[in-house]
Chain A
Amino acid sequence: MIETRDLTKTFDNFTAVDSLNLKIEKGEFFGLLGPNGAGKTTTISLLSTLLLPTKGEILIDGQQLTRKRPDLKRKISVITQEYSMRQDMNMDEIMEYQGRLYFMPRKQIKERTEELLEFCDLLKFRKRTVRKLSGGMKRKLMVCRALLTDPEILLLDEPTAGMDALSRRQMWNLLRKLNEKNLTILLTTHYMEEAQSLCNRVALMDHGKLEEVSTPSALIESLGAYAVDEMTADGTQNHYFHTRQDAIRYLEGLTGQASLRETTLEDVFVERAGKHLNTK
């Protein structure tokens, strides 16, 4: 459904996205992970046509996405990292503006707005201008706005940044429900727990290049499903093992303080980012 072919974006002499080849299937929940400056947000900006590629192309359902393709853009909704909304409009106006931009009938805009604001517990704040909303409320409003148009593809750039733990969990549940309805989701996040919990597949990016694409469980398995954290004078040392027995055996041989746990996607990310990705 979403395909990038040799997608490249350079700013002067800096290559933000470097020959990115990616295929995301319909209904997939796909995570784009990487350290700061890896090129994740630039990729989202290219997919939303805010930026145009220096080289390569983006295909949506096999057709090239450009700024002149309203039919393809109709399928996409974006939740950007920043609060990309008119600060002086209230919630109702934000939703109506979005609906109008997508050529939705007024009646449908009103009904869907009611439904979505109610669902996100924002209904009582509907006449409040964006400027006066808390960060969490703005995030929720951005989700409502993105869902108003019933997109087929949802691009999420750090959607839970700045949210408290409870709101984040609520957002996860919402995203899971949407994905169950066959919505294709591309997510960038710094929260590895989020990617591990939500994504069918994840891609690791660094310096604009795609390093690895796999399922979270396969990535964890490749590192070792069990981790031993050993406290040393230099800090915590992590050791990974493929079987629990190997991990216990190693743990028994240690004299200092140590603990056994399951490996997480964050471990994979830290290992790759620290030892592999950044050394390139």
Chain B
Amino acid sequence: MGIITILWEKWVEFRRDFYKITLAAMIAPLMYLIVFGMGIQTTSHGQPYLNFLIPGVVSLTTMNGSFNAIAQNLNVQRLYEKAFDQVMISPTPLWQFIAGQIIGGSLRGLYAGGIILLLTAPIETGLIFNGWSFLVMFLNGAVFSAVGVVVSFLAKNHADVPRFSNYIIMPMAYLCNTFFSTEKLPGFVGKFVAALPLSQTSHLMRSISSGEAVNYTGIGILLLYLLVFTVAASWFIYKKKNL
């Protein structure tokens, strides 16, 4: 199965860069938690702000972990190392390559998010993280891995992926229900931002962690995003004339 081959490749990469990957996954989220959650101590919705912040930071960490693991890596393989050429000519079905990238990226996101959960576990917040939380983290990772595949295929040079990160991923990280509720954003902007996948993930993570019933609509929206970006990635790999 080609998916296993791609996961093996991701595993080789993870094993070799274990410390780098782990540290990179920890630093920014830890800063957010320390500065916003512990340094500037406030309350939100009548609860300590940390309770609001942790699910948001876990969501954005999952997003960053997955997107970065796929977009930059695939971009380098395609444009710089040309290692992607070998995949294209190999008999591994290309849909399996895409699926492997998405699953591999999700696992990396899950790993990054899991680290934050572990680091915040000693803080007594009363937040609940269960199987649903991990499912949402995995789905969020899958969506942003698929986005990563599409972006890496769209990129025309090495700078395009960081550029996309700066213009799309970073604003999402701050605005999508992570540090504050999208309800505070004005009118149409608020509605638009609330519909974005990271906002859905943050909302789901927050509701699950506070013991509320799982919002299946949110999961459905994430699945829809995943479908759209997977179809886009498949279109590129099968139909784009100059990969």
Contacts and interface: CB of A to CB of B under 8 A. Distances in A.
Interface of A: 11, 48-52, 54, 67-68, 70-71, 73-74, 76-78, 80, 82-89, 93, 96-98, 100-103, 145
B83 A67 contact: no
A50 B85 contact: yes
A48 B243 CA distance: 12
B82 A82 contact: yes
A84 B85 contact: yes
Contact of A80 (B2, B85, B91, B241): B85
B81 A74 contact: no
B162 interface: no
B183 interface: no
B183 to A, nearest CB: 45
Given A48-B88, A97-B9, A86 B77 contact: yes
A73 B89 contact: yes
Contacts of B174: none
Contact of A85 (B81, B238, B242): B81
B92 A67 contact: no
Given A68-B238, A78-B85, A101 B2 contact: yes
Contact of A48 (B89, B93, B242): B89
A92 to B, nearest CB: 10
A54 B241 contact: yes
B219 interface: no
A85 B5 CA distance: 16
Nearest to B9: A97
Nearest to B239: A52
Nearest to B4: A100
A185 B16 CA distance: 37
Interface in B60-106: 77, 81-94
Nearest to B17: A88
Most chain A CB atoms below 10 A, which of B90, B237, B240: B90
B90 A73 contact: yes
B28 interface: no
B162 to A, nearest CB: 19
Contacts of A103: 2, 91-92
Given A48-B85, A50-B85, A86-B77, A101 B91 contact: yes
Nearest to A51: B242
B34 interface: no
Contacts of A100: 4-5, 8
Contact of B91 (A52, A70, A89, A93): A70
A96 B5 CA distance: 9
B interface bracket (residues with beta carbon within 8 Å of A): 20 to 34
A74 B5 contact: no
Given A48-B88, A88-B16, A97 B81 contact: no
A97 B5 contact: yes
17 contacts: A48-B85, A48-B89, A50-B243, A51-B241, A51-B243, A52-B242, A78-B85, A80-B85, A84-B82, A85-B83, A86-B81, A88-B16, A97-B5, A98-B90, A100-B4, A101-B2, A101-B86
Contacts of B135: none
Contacts of B87: 101
Interface string B51-67: 00000000000000000
B83 A86 contact: yes
B12 interface: yes
Contacts of B81: 83-87
B89 A76 contact: yes
Nearest to B95: A68
Given A98-B90, A101-B90, 17 more contacts: A11-B242, A67-B94, A70-B93, A77-B89, A78-B86, A78-B89, A83-B82, A84-B85, A86-B77, A86-B83, A88-B16, A93-B12, A97-B5, A97-B9, A101-B5, A102-B92, A103-B91
Contacts of A67: 88, 94, 237-238
Given A52-B241, A97-B9, A80 B82 contact: yes
A73 B91 contact: yes
A71 B238 CA distance: 16
B130 to A, nearest CB: 35
A152 to B, nearest CB: 12
B16 to A, nearest CB: 7
A89 B85 contact: no
A70 B85 CA distance: 15
Interface in B91-123: 91-94
A102 B90 CA distance: 6
Task: With a 10 A CB-CB cut-off, give which of A52, A54, A74, A86 has the most chain B CB atoms.
Answer: A86
